[in-house]
Structure 1
Amino acid sequence: MPQAWVFFTDLEPAVMFGLAGRMSSFDISGYGVYEAARQVRFDKRLDRDVHTLLVEAVQV
């Protein structure tokens, strides 16, 4: 199974989603929950918007 990223607005549903997937399939060897924020800024040198995904691991 390929790696997939799923985004939630709160941590609680993300943890429950991960636990449910882990308990329902032998193919899932582990999962991680991360807090993330997306930053968009205009870069004058590139003359375009630059999108950055900031990610931090959460201990569950």
Structure 2
Amino acid sequence: MVEHKYSKWTVEGDKKTEWICGCFQTADNFFKFCEMHEDTLKKAIQAQVDELDMTQVVEEKA
């Protein structure tokens, strides 16, 4: 079976999909979100970062 870069796994198997809005993925694997999805996806990403504890406290030196 051929695996597509953008796909959805279904009962029938791997189905090719395409973006239906202005969101896209850059060549270096960053995502750019369209105005319609930007706020929602930003909140989702921040929630995951917080849940996974992917940050550390940085103490500023005077």
Normalized against structure 2, the TM-score is what?
0.28
Normalized against structure 1, the TM-score is what?
0.29
Higher-Rg structure is 2
More relative contact order, 1 or 2 (CA 8 Å, 6+ apart): 1
